[in-house]
Amino acid sequence: MADLVHHPDELSLRPLDNFLPDWLPPSSELPRNPEDAFTKGLALALGPTTGRSRDVPELDKPLEGPPVVESSEEEKEKDDDHVWELAAKAVSHKSTLFTWDTSSQVFRLPPLLSHHPELFYAALRKTVQTPTVTPFPPEYIASELRTLLTGYSGSLWIWNNIEEQFVPSPNAAGSIVVDGYSATASTSIFERFLTIGTLVRRLQAVPTQLMGASESWMHAFSHALTLVLSHIRSTLEVEPICPEKNLSSLHLEYETQEPMLVAVATLLRRDRSHYPPYRSLPSNMISALYKALDRAINTSAPHAVQCTLSFLLQLSTQPCIRAVEEALGLGRATFLPDMVDESSELASPNEDRAPMEVKVMEMILPSEVRQTLERGRKSLVLLKKACPAHILCGRTIEDIDDAEHLKWIWGDDEVQRVQAEAEQQADLLRDLMCRWKSGLPVDHKAHVPAPFPKSTAAPNEFDISLLLLPATQSTDDNAFNRFLGSHPPPLLPSSAPTLPLLLHHVFAKILARSKVISHALLDSLLSPASQQGGADLLAHLHILSSFHLLNFAPFTDLLTNALFVHPSPEIAHAPGTRSRVRARLGIAPLPHQVTGEEFAAVGLGVGLTQRGQWPPGGSDLNWILRRVVIDSLEVDKQGRLKTARVDKVWEQADSIVGFAIRDIEEGDDAWLDPLGKSPHKSGTGTKRATAVEALDFLDLQYKVPRSLAVVLSERAIQKYRQIFSFLLRVLRVDTVVRTMYDPAIHELLFPSSEANAHLLLRTRFLAQGFTSSLVNYLMDSALRSPWSAFYSQLTRVKETSRDPEVQDVFALAARHERVMNTLLEGCMLLPGQAQLAGEVRVCLGTILLLGQLVLDRRRGTLSEQEGGDQLRSLAHKLITTTQTLVQLLKEDQAGKELPRATIPTGNEGGAKLSDLLLRLCFYEPVKRNG
């Protein structure tokens, strides 16, 4: 071999002389210096031939006329004009100009070396590469390549621990070329074997690195990767079918293993484009596997690649699938005795305390499947709290062992079988629930169609001891071998040609169970409290509507009497009447005479301002408001006794509903000045203002049961309290308007000005019209109409258990949230209705100032002239503000005109501000003709 290296002329170049064209010099004349090979070769080709005579082929048509005589080099040196003399003697009708283009003895080569004749190009390349080429016999190269496949070093390529790849060994001088193959062909053959050997060596270290992982799915992936590598190594160690000297056929023998290794190495960031130190492994291996498999299917990757990724995904997701089953009641740990944590809370639908395996698995599931499983899991947690003895919460360990676990399915027959079993399981669970609710004995075993093998009978596939590569002799027992043999192309079934569709079928059984659990929770929450596990949601909603929405007449009347009283002058000057009012309200008698300052905050009850602080607070106010709730419930109790109707929730309402003083929020201090001592600028000067928000300090709280926390969330209860505060403002203004119509103040307040007297009557009428229109709109259209539609819908769900809009408790919570937003929109309390709410607040404040004016004139604390000025200002302000409100309502309705196809249905019961606009049309100025 060394002789071949030191004597390049003895290679297979000289036999080419017999096939070279005449114009190419023989190989003996080719230069030995590779740097001058190209230039000297061209010089020999273009110059006169030596050694043997050759006829120059005429590639171009020769010129007509006498031939041009070439002069020797000596003659050219003596006389350079000799060429021109010969040209002048030549006789020709054509041009006789002697140039390189017209010379017939000059061979014109193409401009690119690769466009030269094949033999010339091969000879020249052979001459240039000869000093750095080390040719080896094919048999020897085949043996070295077989060594590379197993990841071991040989005599030609050795493993570089720094770069973690195979590099040429020092024994291989120069480039390694197969005898009889070009350098390009040799490199192409070597590349596949180097890739396989390098990736096998790199991937073999991954399971060892994963032994310290804390995630269960990473250990499962490590085990699956071990099986895949074991299969690939076993196929690489099989003797090839083709002869070893045929390297092209040997190259094709391993066309399946290379893409498999490249796909796995690319997933783990260990392919040949990466070098140590490697990037960390994917943080979410399950999601990375799913994306890689989906990409391989969409790009029609080789079937072996699809099967490899599918097998890795199938085994890696098994711990996650087990966790999903356990979260829905199909695991041992879920149903051990006393496993219900009474201290745990599920305060909102957005809170999820699922295990990490469940969350990792749900990341690759379609949105519909993920939402159904999430709702079923949360429903089971709530069902355990609402009714721990429910049939779905009390399965025995034997029943769990008999259940068949979920697994991936890849065939059409498996898809049909799983769908049939899912429907059968759903019917079985519904039948068990019906028998349990009816009090009939329930036997799980009697309803199971066929027993399944227990999960404990199978060995643990994820034992840490299995992480090492198994022996190559046990290839028949390799799970990956069985997977490849049982899954011919195409991989996915025809009924589920994509991965998202396949996942719907894989989780068909658990989806059916999840829907049954969700419906069972909804049925339990709607059941009356007298039944086992019943939460009586309808009763709680009725209490909220009665107290927070003021739909309970006894509560509304008692609250009005406690907070709002007649500010008539007789009360201020008749101690007996005032004492009776204080005694009825439970307020202690005052040691001094009442002054007019106590009634400066018009419409507020007696004694609320006498302490000189706001909010009033104290035990007196606490006792008054407590009596309001208790007395109103007592009135309702008497009515229920007459109808022989017993309601446990109503009997406990006094411990559910209660008043409190809310905390002061930053920037929300308007209600801290109920006496109106802050200056207010108007057209007539500085006047006292009466705060509309004086009673916003009152907060009507509601204690929500733990089982109803999802439907009656803190956010929903806050919306009830916001509506209650707004209704208190309106109720106070309505009380003031009624006070202005009291017979005690029918005497003329402006005896010296008939115009002011008529203006007062007209303004009072406009205030009464606005207040009554607003109150009737709120109670009828904004609140009662949408609420009644929602309550009727829940009643139908309770009776029929069928409603496409309310399938589970989370759909019910979303429906309840939409209804509350509708109520807020009807009350003009949404953030986007700030301008409308501001105009309503100004109108209510103006009416309160009008009532304060009437009270001050009747008590004589305000002169007639000042009162007249204030009256004209308030009348103008009330009219202009109401007209502005009407204009805003028109613009709001014009912007909400929807096509007929997009108009909401009647089930939504949306509040219509057009009703309020219709009621306030009398404020529009009359258009007169001419």
DSSP string over 680-743: EEETTEEEE---GGGGTTEEEEE---GGGTTTS-HHHHHHHHHHHHHHHHHHHHHHHHHHHT-G
Distant-in-sequence, close-in-space partners of 283: CB < 8 Å, separation ≥ 6: none
Q: What is the distance of C-alpha 288 from the center of its chain?
A: 17
For residues 612 and 584, what is the distance between their CA atoms, to the nearest angstrom?
22
For 586-678, where are the alpha helices, taking DSSP H only? 618-642, 648-651
Residue in the block written with tokens 């050997």: 197
User: How many CB atoms within 10 Å of residue 251?
Assistant: 19
In this prediction, residues 239-268 reach a mean pLDDT of: 90
Q: How far apart are the first and last CA of the chain?
A: 122
Please tell me which residue, 107 or 63, carries the higher pLDDT value.
107
CB of 470 closer than 8 Å to CB of 226 = yes
- Residue 135 belongs to what H/E stretch? strand 133-136
CB of 402 closer than 8 Å to CB of 444 = no
Q: Is the peptide bond before 493 cis (omega within 30 degrees of 0)?
A: no
**What b-and-e string marks burial along 688-721, b requiring 16 or more CB atoms within 10 Å of the CB?**
bbbbbbbbbbbebebebbebbbbbbbeebbebbb
Residue in the block written with tokens 């989370």: 810
Least confident of 394-403, 536-545, 779-788, 802-811: 394-403
pLDDT at 155 over 80: yes
Q: Smallest Cα–Cα separation from 290: which of 365, 201, 210?
A: 365
**Dihedrals φ, ψ of 682, to 5°?**
-140, -175
CB of 552 closer than 8 Å to CB of 628 = no
What pLDDT, on a 0 to 100 scale, did the predictor assign at position 181?
85
For 205-284, where are the alpha helices, taking DSSP H only? 206-209, 216-236, 247-253, 257-267
Q: Smallest Cα–Cα separation from 635: which of 535, 558, 688, 538?
A: 558
Residue 165, classed as helix, strand or coil, is: strand
Distant-in-sequence, close-in-space partners of 823: CB < 8 Å, separation ≥ 6: 549, 719, 723, 782, 783, 786, 787, 911
CB of 203 closer than 8 Å to CB of 265 = yes
CA distances 464 to 216, 315, 480, 704, Å, are 11, 15, 18, 48
For residues 815 and 713, what is the distance between their CA atoms, to the nearest angstrom?
13
Q: Smallest Cα–Cα separation from 30: which of 44, 51, 11, 10?
A: 44
For 35-81, where are the alpha helices, taking DSSP H only? 37-46, 73-78
For residues 799 and 145, what is the distance between their CA atoms, to the nearest angstrom?
77
Model confidence pLDDT, tens digit, residues 604-622: 765 566 555 666 766 777 8
Indicate the residue type of 241: I
**What b-and-e string marks burial along 901-929, b requiring 16 or more CB atoms within 10 Å of the CB?**
eeeeeeebbbbbbebbbebbeebeeeeee
For residues 127 and 30, what is the distance between their CA atoms, to the nearest angstrom?
8
Model confidence pLDDT, tens digit, residues 41-59: 545 544 444 444 444 444 3
Supply 866's token pair.
Answer: 């000042």
Across the chain, mean pLDDT equals 75
For residues 508 and 368, what is the distance between their CA atoms, to the nearest angstrom?
12
pLDDT at 177 over 80: yes
Between the CA atoms of 216, 221, 226 and 232, what dihedral angle is there, to the nearest 10 degrees? 170
Residue 336, classed as helix, strand or coil, is: coil
What pLDDT, on a 0 to 100 scale, did the predictor assign at position 900?
39
Topology annotation, domain 537-665+688-895+908-923: Four Helix Bundle (Hemerythrin (Met), subunit A) (1.20.120)
User: How many CB atoms within 10 Å of residue 407?
Assistant: 12
**Residues facing 658 on adjacent strands:** 701
What pLDDT, on a 0 to 100 scale, did the predictor assign at position 436?
81
pLDDT at 818 over 60: yes
What pLDDT, on a 0 to 100 scale, did the predictor assign at position 5?
44
Q: Smallest Cα–Cα separation from 687: which of 549, 813, 874?
A: 874
CB of 725 closer than 8 Å to CB of 698 = yes
Number of H helices and E strands in the chain, helices first, is 35, 8
Model confidence pLDDT, tens digit, residues 562-575: 888 654 444 433 33
Q: How big is the chain, counted in residues?
A: 930
What pLDDT, on a 0 to 100 scale, did the predictor assign at position 695?
83
Least confident of 290-294, 719-723, 920-924: 920-924
What pLDDT, on a 0 to 100 scale, did the predictor assign at position 68?
45
Ranges of each domain in the chain: 121-281, 312-334+352-449+476-526, 537-665+688-895+908-923
What pLDDT, on a 0 to 100 scale, did the predictor assign at position 459?
41
Model confidence pLDDT, tens digit, residues 848-872: 999 888 888 888 888 888 989 999 9
pLDDT at 836 over 90: yes
Supply 74's token pair.
Answer: 């000596």
Q: Provide the whole-model pTM.
A: 0.69
CA distances 55 to 20, 21, 26, Å, are 13, 10, 14
Please tell me which residue, 664 or 557, carries the higher pLDDT value.
557
pLDDT at 681 over 70: no
Please tell me which residue, 270 or 897, carries the higher pLDDT value.
270
What pLDDT, on a 0 to 100 scale, did the predictor assign at position 800?
82
What pLDDT, on a 0 to 100 scale, did the predictor assign at position 612?
58
What pLDDT, on a 0 to 100 scale, did the predictor assign at position 498?
93
In this prediction, residues 731-751 reach a mean pLDDT of: 80
Pick from 140-154, 296-310, 509-523 the range whose average pLDDT is largest. 296-310
Supply 24's token pair.
Answer: 């190419």
Please tell me which residue, 354 or 461, carries the higher pLDDT value.
354
For residues 290 and 362, what is the distance between their CA atoms, to the nearest angstrom?
12
Half-sphere exposure of 493 (CA within 13 A, CB side): 18
Q: Where are the beta strands (DSSP E) in 394-541?
A: none
For residue 926, what pLDDT band results from cuts at 50, 70 and 90? low
Supply 304's token pair.
Answer: 């072996």
Q: What percent of the chain has pLDDT over 90?
A: 34
For residues 725 and 901, what is the distance between their CA atoms, to the nearest angstrom?
37
